[in-house]
Structure 1
Amino acid sequence: MWAALYLRLSQAGWVLPVGDQLWLFLIAPAVAIPIYIRLGMYRAVMRHFGNDALMVIFKAVTLGFLAYMLVLMVLRDSGFEVLFPRSVFFSYWSLCLMLVGGLRLLARQYFMGDWFGSGASKQQADESPGGKPVAIYGAGAAGNQLLASLRVGQLYRPVAFVDDDESVIGRMIAGLPVYSPDQVGIMMADKGVKELFMAIPSATRARRQEVLSTLQAYALHVRTIPGLMDLASGKVKVDDLQEVDIADLLGRDSVPPDQSLFERCIKDKAVMVTGAGGSIGSELCRQIILSNPKTLVLFEHSEFALYEIHSELTGYLRTQNLSTVLIPILGSIRNYRRLQDVINAWDINTIYHAAAYKHVPMVEHNVAEGIMNNVFGTLNTAQAAIKCRVENFVLISTDKAVRPTNVMGSTKRMAELVLQALSAEQAPHLWGEQAPVNQVNRTRFTMVRFGNVLGSSGSVIPLFREQIRRGGPITVTHPDITRYFMTIPEAAQLVIQAGSMGKGGDVFVLDMGEPVTIVNLARKMIQLSGLTVRDEMNINGDIGITFSGLRPGEKLYEELLIGDNPETTAHEKIHRANEVFIPWAELSPILDKLRQAVREDDYEQVRLTLLHAVQGYQPSNGIVDLIYEQKTLRAE
């Protein structure tokens, strides 16, 4: 008020309030400050001061001004004489906005430690203590949220936006200049940027792949903020930066699940997942719990893995206030009695069988365990399901079961043959050490076959990241090796939906898209880490790629079908394979022979049996089981 009066009467010098004028100066703060307190003006944290706070200041100052004018009107009606010119009051309102808001903006700049502003030159940027200069790809809502988060900290200092929207290129947003993708090189030179954060969470994977392909030409370390679904679900915040999602490099967009298929075998039912702590099993549990099963039994032989998934899901159930009963069970699928007791105890309706040994070289060196777990463990689980009258049984299979060159693939195909044979029998005799019970088979068996999943325990992606972190080299087995890839969540969703489509004995194949050359994937990971590939064309590059040779049992190319002409289904990403199988009467003696060979450590007989039973099995190497090799060495 005093400044407003001086601006109006500045020709008279400083005007001191005297007499009745003094009340006008006292009334102003007496009216305004309670309103400011009520609207939270003195509770704001200055380093998080943003546009919403500016709106609160505008409301508070305006309300304080109106309240002040109202008091003066009441006083004037009571005979109190107001001696100030009217223009003084509007100057008072303007000065309040500038001083109350402006001082807070200055305080925010002080706490952020960036007095040069976002438009600082490269020299100023290098000299200022505000952190490493970075650019943000995406000048939309997510980009601006990320900008606000980064400005609070001291580690990174945003200096530019990159966006392909022509309406914003060349303009300033939140104090940052906006460059086009073609100007990334210029931006790097002008601003000293060596790191870029992608903030386009709503873009499709195909669109993100285009952006990443453009950025590969520059020596930029690219990181991303999480996807929109992760942000919406509250799993992560917009400022939770992460390395580039490899799924973005593949450019593969998942199809939203068909909710009716998704819930058919789960909603209000008792569901059991074997191998619940594994990469596929744990994701199945996460997806299953979204459909609100009555009970979810987590069956796992690893105590630590079971503890982890049980703790995660318990926390989710608590925060979402869901009614599903979660049961953690330690056990092995090789223990038929344990399986039967668990299934009976909770009246299981649906089993998702994900428990398996799946690392190709490891199973190749441990043949007996691979067979006992993958073949006879599946047989135990399937026969326990039949005896306990489980309605639905879904086997998680693999593309390596198609014309396999390794023990792991052949055991997974044997597991498929077991379920196909059992499904075709109306009243199969329970096999092996179980009691020979002859009863009507009410269980609907379904098999779902797919390729590699990103981030699984056997995936190359974590290995490549660690090798890049250590400075290389990245090891690839062969320059021509290719693989199909899919994200774990998409694979789990499709498995659940495929399991709902089965009529009995079905083998479903997931559409994995186009195969990926592993060496090209390694190159992209190096480049998007802000590094260069060291090869014949660039001998001074940062990270080299070496070829170690195919491992035991490894194929250059994987397939998804044994037969031809797969059938389409109601889901565009799921196909039904037409595969031949062995009737139970013929398969049972083969299983007897295989089990006897394993018990006697007769690995030549194991191989002969698998060659006879598994169509297309062509071992790529001799027998490399470690026990077999050691016994052979001692015998020599």
Structure 2
Amino acid sequence: MLLSRAMTALIAFPRWAKKVVVLLLDMVLCLIATWLAFCLRFDEFVSLSEPLIWTMAASVLIGLPIFVVQGLYRAIYRYTGWFATIALIRALSIYAAIYILVFTIIRVEGVPRSVGLIQPILLFICVGISRLLAKALLNRQVVGKHGPDSRAVALIYGAGAAGRQLASGLRQASGIKPVAFVDDDSNYWKSTINGLRVHSPDEIPGLLDSNLGITDVLLAIPSATRARQREILKQLSDLPVHVRILPGLASLANGDVKVEDIREVEIDDVLGRDAVQANEELLHQNITGKVVLVTGAGGSIGSELCRQILAQTPKALVLLELSEFALYAIERELTQLVMPVQIIPILGSVLDFNKLARVIRRFGVQTVYHAAAYKHVPMIEMNPAAGVWNNVFGTLRTVESACQAGVETFVLVSTDKAVRPTNVMGCSKRMAELVLQAKSLQENRLGVHTTKLTMVRFGNVLGSSGSVVPVFREQIKNGGPVTVTHPEIIRYFMTIPEAAQLVIQAGAMGEGGDVMVLDMGEPVKIVDLAKRMIHLSGFSHKDEANPGGDIEIQFTGLRPGEKLYEELLIGDNTLPTSHSRIMRAAEHSLRWDELEPLLFELEAAIKAENSDVIRLLLKKAVPEFNPQSENGDVLKWHPNPMS
């Protein structure tokens, strides 16, 4: 019972902790093998002595570095196969050669030369037995947990090196049983690799209908482009099978494939596109060696901006965040990366002008990425005063504090919902853009040019807190139904890392008052996205054509202020840039003397919580604002529970 608990706890350890345990075990085995070598040589049990301690230390100092360099700690015991065995033999052979050489050259009184021959043999036996014993115990624990008949039956897509390593690891694990390969290369078809038959992709439906009992398809082609990966996933999405995937080569440590690398298909695997080569000069321009401030640092975009900014080695990174927990989480994550960059967490609001000014001057901020915003459309429809106050006046206070302090670059993270807005949130973001445009025009007119102001506009990001993707994932996990607002609703999607990288590059390209627009690729129908997620999770879509399906899609109706489709441009005037996925938009703007009186009126309406006047003033500032719903202010319409 105690051993079983220990094995369960060990399996649950994080990877780094398992490596430490194995390394400590090998250190102990070096000591034991040395002591046994002395006992055999002198034909008696020996006690600790200076020669024995010296020999033990030599064994550890020679052995552990060799074991680390030879990759003995990259394999997980219960998955080890021939690759790990060969690595073990190679490492111990190198160890033996060096150990024997050391004891041949260096004479230590009280240490017979024969110990140098006996000890490596004993260490080989000890390490080999430890690996076999640990593997047997761990596999027994997993079998006991899952039962011998609970194994998933897998078809491996990809018969190359990655697929073969995966098959080898699966055979020695107990959770998944590989039964066949599928590969695009016709040279492999009808051949047998590692005892598994290789089939063509066209044979997959027949294999699923066969008596093999296939429950899973494991996509093992880490070298495939995103386009090819999407094509394969699209083919598999209509089949009644659970699809899982190996990450790309860049995510695999040293190119080695392990069973634990298998993960669920993420939606960016389905919708993500091949990355465009980043312009390193643009990435460095506003960051490297500079003090950078990110507002909303704990949010989806803000946190990814922080990660990518840190990779460009700024002098210091200032994190401004209103949520204590979000600030704690991102600060903890970044400090664990152990980069030579000072991380400065600031708990506060973008509406606090005095604090913003103090922070910017105290740390000498040179670049600001303003990602702090309220972005949930229905929530802002119900709380328009709070939404406009944060999004418009938070931006105003941040940009004014930056300009007064002489910050070099200010980048506003905007949204496609700012284009011909139909809701308060989108209109508030368009007004935030107007604030930057007006401030930039004012600086140009006065000939000041202290701060370069740029706006970057893009659509939805996959997996953000406001995205449908995590909602769908949770609904599928709970057995459905999956809720979609309208059968015709479409959206643009982009991965969070790609969006953040493009924001940094676009911000560096701005010349002052520019609205930079990101190429979002092809729009996606949300109902199709829901169907793909259902199928790739191993379930079937329940509808009239398939009443016996697993998960139903329910249409709930458009929410207040929600559009059927989003746009990225107000007009048709766009200019290309040196980056294929970044455009410069020529958008209408207001002068500061035109915008300032509207802001005074808007501030008064917000303080009075007069949502009707707020909407009228938004319409006055943004004529293209076309509300699709009645005033949804919860303070105005929600019934009083006490009445």
Same fold by TM-score greater than 0.5: yes
Structure-2 change in CA distance of 1:479 and 1:251 (3 Å): same
Partner of residue 483, structure 2: 475
Q: Deviations over 1:23-56 (max 9, x none)?
A: xxxxxxx9xxxxxx9999xx99985241453487
1:226, 1:238 within 8 Å by CA — same for their partners in 2?
Answer: no
Partner of residue 53, structure 1: 85
CA–CA distance in structure 2, aligned partners of residues 293 and 197 of structure 1: 40
Partner of residue 158, structure 1: 178
1:132, 1:156 within 8 Å by CA — same for their partners in 2?
Answer: yes
2:272, 2:494 within 8 Å by CA — same for their partners in 1?
Answer: no
Structure-2 change in CA distance of 1:57 and 1:226 (3 Å): closer
Q: Deviations over 1:188-214 (max 9, x none)?
A: 324211111212222122111110122
Q: Where in structure 2 are the equivalents of 1:124-163 lying within 5 Å?
A: 129=149, 131-163=151-183
| Equivalent in 224, 240, 257 of residue 219 of structure 1 | 240
2:387, 2:425 within 8 Å by CA — same for their partners in 1?
Answer: yes
CA–CA distance in structure 2, aligned partners of residues 130 and 152 of structure 1: 15
CA–CA distance in structure 2, aligned partners of residues 505 and 282 of structure 1: 25
Partner of residue 298, structure 1: 319
Q: Where in structure 2 are the equivalents of 1:68-79 lying within 5 Å?
A: none
Of 561-570 and 154-163, the range deviating more from structure 2: 154-163
Identity of aligned residues (%): 53
Q: CA deviation at 1:226?
A: 2.1
Q: Which amino acid aligns with 2:153?
A: P
| Equivalent in 617, 627, 640 of residue 609 of structure 1 | 617
Q: Which amino acid aligns with 1:308?
A: A
Q: Deviations over 1:435-474 (max 9, x none)?
A: xxx9945000000000000000100011111111111111
1:264, 1:500 within 8 Å by CA — same for their partners in 2?
Answer: yes
CA–CA distance in structure 2, aligned partners of residues 129 and 548 of structure 1: 41
1:423 equivalent in alignment to 2:445: no
Q: Deviations over 1:318-377 (max 9, x none)?
A: 2xxx31111111000010001011101110000000000000001111111101100000
1:366 equivalent in alignment to 2:383: yes
CA–CA distance in structure 1, aligned partners of residues 88 and 395 of structure 2: 64
2:484, 2:527 within 8 Å by CA — same for their partners in 1?
Answer: yes
| Equivalent in 531, 540, 546 of residue 532 of structure 1 | 540
1:112, 1:152 within 8 Å by CA — same for their partners in 2?
Answer: no
Of 248-257 and 325-334, the range deviating more from structure 2: 248-257
2:415, 2:426 within 8 Å by CA — same for their partners in 1?
Answer: yes
2:369, 2:413 within 8 Å by CA — same for their partners in 1?
Answer: yes
Q: Which amino acid aligns with 1:144?
A: R
Q: Which amino acid aligns with 1:157?
A: K
Taking only aligned residues, the RMSD between alpha carbons, in angstroms, comes to 3.4
Structure-2 change in CA distance of 1:336 and 1:112 (3 Å): closer
**Secondary structure, counterpart of 1:393 in structure 2:** strand
1:560 equivalent in alignment to 2:568: yes
1:584 equivalent in alignment to 2:592: yes
Q: Structure 1 regions of 5+ residues with no counterpart?
A: 1-29, 31-36, 65-101, 115-125, 429-437
1:385 equivalent in alignment to 2:402: yes
Structure-2 change in CA distance of 1:439 and 1:147 (3 Å): same
Q: Which amino acid aligns with 1:340?
A: A
Partner of residue 229, structure 1: 250
Of 621-630 and 247-256, the range deviating more from structure 2: 247-256
CA–CA distance in structure 1, aligned partners of residues 440 and 392 of structure 2: 16
Structure-2 change in CA distance of 1:224 and 1:56 (3 Å): closer
CA–CA distance in structure 1, aligned partners of residues 558 and 463 of structure 2: 21
Q: CA deviation at 1:496?
A: 0.1
CA–CA distance in structure 2, aligned partners of residues 529 and 547 of structure 1: 21
Q: Where in structure 2 are the equivalents of 1:89-488 lying within 5 Å?
A: 129=149, 131-188=151-208, 189-231=210-252, 239-250=260-271, 252-316=273-337, 318=338, 322-426=339-443, 440-488=448-496
Please identify the structure whose Cα radius of gyration is greater. 1
Q: CA deviation at 1:527?
A: 1.2
1:46, 1:107 within 8 Å by CA — same for their partners in 2?
Answer: no
**Secondary structure, counterpart of 1:425 in structure 2:** helix
1:150, 1:239 within 8 Å by CA — same for their partners in 2?
Answer: no
Q: CA deviation at 1:103?
A: 12
Q: CA deviation at 1:612?
A: 0.8
Q: CA deviation at 1:105?
A: 12
Structure-2 change in CA distance of 1:379 and 1:251 (3 Å): closer
Q: Which amino acid aligns with 1:379?
A: L
CA–CA distance in structure 2, aligned partners of residues 378 and 342 of structure 1: 16
Q: CA deviation at 1:165?
A: 1.3
1:113, 1:129 within 8 Å by CA — same for their partners in 2?
Answer: no
1:205, 1:247 within 8 Å by CA — same for their partners in 2?
Answer: no
CA–CA distance in structure 2, aligned partners of residues 511 and 46 of structure 1: 46
2:166, 2:257 within 8 Å by CA — same for their partners in 1?
Answer: no
CA–CA distance in structure 1, aligned partners of residues 135 and 564 of structure 2: 57
Q: CA deviation at 1:529?
A: 1.4
Structure-2 change in CA distance of 1:381 and 1:170 (3 Å): same
CA–CA distance in structure 1, aligned partners of residues 131 and 366 of structure 2: 61
Q: CA deviation at 1:268?
A: 0.4
Structure-2 change in CA distance of 1:293 and 1:534 (3 Å): same
Q: CA deviation at 1:390?
A: 0.2
Q: CA deviation at 1:146?
A: 2.8
Q: Which amino acid aligns with 1:53?
A: T
1:526, 1:543 within 8 Å by CA — same for their partners in 2?
Answer: yes
Q: Which amino acid aligns with 1:186?
A: G
**Secondary structure, counterpart of 2:260 in structure 1:** coil
Partner of residue 74, structure 1: none
Q: Structure 2 regions of 5+ residues with no counterpart?
A: 1-40, 42-61, 97-127, 141-145
2:286, 2:508 within 8 Å by CA — same for their partners in 1?
Answer: yes
Q: CA deviation at 1:130?
A: 7.8
**Secondary structure, counterpart of 1:622 in structure 2:** coil
Partner of residue 68, structure 1: none
CA–CA distance in structure 2, aligned partners of residues 310 and 220 of structure 1: 40
**Secondary structure, counterpart of 1:426 in structure 2:** helix
Q: Which amino acid aligns with 2:372?
A: A
Partner of residue 498, structure 2: 490
**Secondary structure, counterpart of 1:170 in structure 2:** coil
**Secondary structure, counterpart of 1:555 in structure 2:** coil
Structure-2 change in CA distance of 1:381 and 1:179 (3 Å): same
Q: Which amino acid aligns with 1:209?
A: R
**Secondary structure, counterpart of 1:239 in structure 2:** helix
Of 374-383 and 220-229, the range deviating more from structure 2: 220-229
CA–CA distance in structure 2, aligned partners of residues 104 and 377 of structure 1: 61
Q: Which amino acid aligns with 1:452?
A: N
**Secondary structure, counterpart of 1:623 in structure 2:** coil
1:112, 1:154 within 8 Å by CA — same for their partners in 2?
Answer: no
**Secondary structure, counterpart of 1:507 in structure 2:** strand
Partner of residue 86, structure 1: none
Q: How many residues in Structure 1 have an aligned counterpart in Structure 2?
A: 540
